[in-house]
């Protein structure tokens, strides 16, 4: 029997880039197939072609052996190909069943929500996707919204489900739940195509993995016959160390102290609701939590980019709560923002000018009246060399750098200012394995130097690999602080997951060996 889906020699050329170069891929019914690759490897382009969003320059798509011409996502859905994007396409104010039937061809003039809800409940039971059809989507957690997206596709008789980086917004428990659903889908004869750059997910759930690099298929093999190490090598093209070496280190004095901090979000809602944290010199305090629980607001308030409603921020005993961003920089507080393109750098300006953002006044002559281009260039060249920024020139537009290289510019600029404390927000989001490894090493070097680091990340793996202590933020409140490695790794992840879902550590401590920590560990 022909496989459910076969891609043959799909090629897509963009000006200057061959996004996909003769990519072939076979997905069998009942299979979870992972498409693994770094950013820019050609995964998204391939999926856009498969979902009818763009057209290949060459190659064919075969569905059960029949050639397929896809002109639009509606075409794809009609052929049983469904896709779940990273950002869900749901209408928050509609109920689950309304979201599911939206856009379907009606049988008659009357919208029959009742029978739709019945069918939805049947489907939900069949696949173990528990969800109340009458619930409003805005009241559902992210994990449940994702289930709604899956149900939407099943309701439309999708046989192949494409999931684009589905775990980015989920807690560990929600991820495990999703994987169970995917396994059940596969067991019932559906095919799942999982697009990801996370190795451990591939190992955890996929049957077959195809690795893409630079638009080409490096290999396709059963997951059982592969290892994380081998997949990483295929993905990056060289040996990578998956574990970072974190030398044991005595933490120093408390440097960054946050006391009962309260901050409002953009629409005036309280987003940080009484956060108290202390970061010591030579320590990385990881702040875990699902995106959108107040992390960005906290970081911005620390840097003075967002007004503080109440509470206090001190750096080395100096009260910075009401200081301007410039004064905070002068006091050696550094910040690597999550949005490196819109906040961390100024795209249309050169690397050299970006290298002096925040320290510009040091690079002037004539009593501060004029810039000193020679001095700026020397500083930029130093940064580019020291932090291995791959660029044709220091006068190259920063916005045209790849994510990894741009992050090196931002990182280098903040680190060369020798910060006493550094707030780091999502430092490796969207970076490839090589650049991630580099950023991690630099952050650990800063820790060795004695800086106090507050690492805000939605990637639990990252938090676990780097942190000395781990705090969890949920809806603007700290659920608790753990000493990294105080428990056996699996139970610690479980504990963190429960905290990320909103259970305070205090309510969990009777379930587990207490690993709470109020001070630095040795």
Partner 1 sequence: MAKSHWIERRLPPTDSPLATATVTLAAIVLALLLGGLLMLPFTPHPGQAYWAIVENAFGSLRGLGFTLVKATPLILIALGTIVAWRTSFFYLGFEGALLLGAAATVWVALRAAPQEGLAGLPGWIFFPLVIGAAFAAGGLWAGAVGFLRSRFGGNEVLVSLMTNYVAILLVNYLVSGPLRAPGDLPQTERIPETTLLPFFIPDTRAHAGFLLALLAALLVWLFLRRTPLGYELIATGFSERAARYGGIPTSQRLVLAAFLAGGLGALAGLVEVLGVQFRLMEGIAQGTGFVGVVVALLGKLNPLGSVVAAILYAGMGVGSEVLQRRAGLPSSVIFIVQSLIVLLILAGDLLRSYRFTWPFRAERLTATAGPRE
Min CB(220)–partner 1 separation in Å = 18
Q: Smallest gap, in angstroms, from Cβ of residue 440 to partner 1? A: 23
Residue among 82 and 337 whose Cβ is closer to partner 1: 337
Q: How far apart are CA 59 and CA 407, in angstroms?
A: 36
Given 78, 104, 180, 326, the residue binding partner 1 (CB under 8 A): 326
Q: How far is the CB of 313 from partner 1 (least distance, A)?
A: 16
Residue from 92, 222, 348, 514 in contact with partner 1 (CB under 8 A): 348
Would you give the distance in Å from CA 317 to the centre of its chain?
A: 34
Contact 142, 290 (CB under 8 A): yes
Nearer to partner 1, 98 or 377 (CB): 377
In the shown chain, the binding pattern of residues 68 to 107 toward partner 1, with x for contact by CB under 8 A and - for none, equals: -x--------------------------------------
Q: How many helices (H) and strands (E) does the chain have?
A: 17, 22
> Which H or E element spans position 411?
helix 403-416
SS3 sequence of 460-488: HHHHHHHCCEEEEEECCEEEEEEECCCCC
Which positions from 363 through 392 interact with partner 1, judged by CB under 8 A? Answer: 364, 368-371, 373
**Is residue 303 a contact residue for partner 1 (CB under 8 A)?**
yes
Q: Residue 149 and residue 451: Cα distance in Å, rounded?
A: 44
| Using rule CB under 8 A, residue 345 touches partner 1 | yes
Residues 3 to 22: which contact partner 1 by CB under 8 A?
11, 13-15, 18, 21
List the beta strands (DSSP E) in 404-512: 421-425, 452-456, 469-474, 477-483
CB of 365 or CB of 507, closer to partner 1 = 365
For partner 1, the binding residues in 108-147 under the rule CB under 8 A are none
Size of the site for partner 1 (CB under 8 A): 44
- What are 504's two structure tokens? 């305070």
Binning the chain into helix, strand and coil, the percentages to the nearest 5 are: 35, 25, 40
Query: Does residue 403 belong to the site contacting partner 1 (CB under 8 A)?
Result: no
Give the alpha-carbon dihedral of 228, 230, 231, 236, to 10 degrees: 120
Q: Smallest gap, in angstroms, from Cβ of residue 181 to partner 1?
A: 35
Q: How far is the CB of 44 from partner 1 (least distance, A)?
A: 14
In the list 2, 55, 128, 134, the residue contacting partner 1 (rule: CB under 8 A) is 55
3-state secondary structure of 222: strand
CA distance 147 to 129: 6
The CB-of-14 to partner 1 minimum distance in angstroms stands at 8
Q: Is 156 left (phi over 0), alpha (psi -120 to 50) or beta?
A: alpha
Distance CA 453, CA 246 (A): 14
Provide, rounded to whole angstroms, the least separation between the CB of residue 368 and partner 1: 7
Closest separation in Å from C-beta 177 to partner 1 = 36
Binding site for partner 1 (CB under 8 A): 11, 13-15, 18, 21, 55-60, 69, 214, 216, 303, 305, 324-326, 328-329, 335, 337, 342-349, 353, 357-358, 360-361, 364, 368-371, 373, 400
């Amino acid at each position: 029997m022909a496989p459910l889906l076969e891609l043959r020699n799909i090629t897509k050329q963009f000006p200057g880039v061959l996004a996909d170069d003769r990519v072939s891929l076979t997905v069998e019914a009942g299979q979870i197939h992972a498409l693994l690759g770094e950013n820019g490897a050609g995964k998204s382009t391939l999926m856009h072609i498969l979902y009818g969003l763009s057209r290949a320059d060459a190659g064919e798509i075969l569905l059960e052996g029949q050639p397929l011409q896809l002109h639009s996502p509606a075409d794809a859905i009609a052929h049983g190909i469904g896709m779940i994007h990273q950002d869900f396409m749901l209408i928050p104010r509609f109920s689950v069943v309304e979201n599911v039937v939206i856009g379907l061809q009606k049988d008659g003039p009357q919208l029959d929500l009742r029978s739709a809800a019945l069918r939805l409940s049947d489907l939900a039971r069949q696949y173990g996707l528990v969800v109340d059809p009458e619930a409003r989507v805005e009241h559902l957690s992210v994990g449940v919204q994702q289930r709604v997206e899956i149900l939407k596709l099943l309701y439309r008789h999708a046989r192949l489900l494409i999931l684009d980086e589905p775990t980015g917004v989920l807690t560990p428990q929600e991820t495990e739940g999703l994987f169970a659903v995917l396994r059940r889908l596969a067991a019932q004869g559906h095919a799942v195509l999982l697009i990801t750059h996370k190795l451990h997910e591939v190992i955890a759930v996929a049957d077959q993995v195809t690795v893409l690099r630079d638009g080409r298929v490096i290999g396709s093999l059963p997951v059982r016959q592969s290892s994380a190490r081998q997949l990483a090598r295929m993905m990056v093209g060289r040996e990578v160390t998956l574990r970072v070496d974190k030398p044991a280190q005595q933490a120093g004095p408390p440097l960054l102290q946050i006391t009962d901090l309260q901050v409002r979000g953009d629409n005036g809602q309280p987003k940080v609701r009484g956060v108290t944290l202390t970061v010591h010199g030579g320590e990385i305090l990881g702040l875990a939590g699902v995106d959108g629980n107040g992390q960005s607001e906290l970081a911005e308030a620390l840097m003075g980019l967002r007004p503080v409603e109440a509470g206090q921020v001190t750096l080395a005993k100096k009260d910075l709560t009401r200081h301007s961003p410039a004064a905070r920089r002068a006091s050696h507080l550094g910040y690597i923002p999550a949005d490196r393109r819109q906040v961390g750098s100024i795209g249309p300006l050169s690397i050299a000018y970006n290298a002096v953002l925040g320290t510009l006044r040091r690079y002037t002559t004539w009593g501060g009246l004029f810039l000193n281009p020679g001095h700026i260039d020397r500083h930029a060249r130093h940064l580019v060399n020291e932090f291995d920024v791959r660029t044709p020139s220091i006068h190259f537009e920063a916005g045209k750098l790849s994510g990894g290289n741009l992050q090196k510019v931002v990182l280098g600029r903040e680190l060369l200012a020798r910060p006493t404390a550094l707030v780091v927000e999502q430092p490796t989001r969207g970076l490839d394995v090589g650049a991630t490894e580099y950023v991690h090493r630099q952050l650990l070097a800063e820790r060795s130097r004695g800086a106090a680091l507050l690492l805000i990340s939605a990637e639990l793996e990252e938090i676990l690999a780097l942190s000395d202590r781990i705090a969890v933020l949920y809806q603007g409140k700290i659920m608790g602080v753990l000493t990294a490695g105080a428990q056996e790794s699996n139970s610690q992840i479980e504990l963190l997951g429960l905290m990320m879902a909103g259970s305070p550590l205090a309510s969990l401590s009777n379930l587990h060996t207490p690993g709470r920590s109020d001070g630095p560990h040795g």
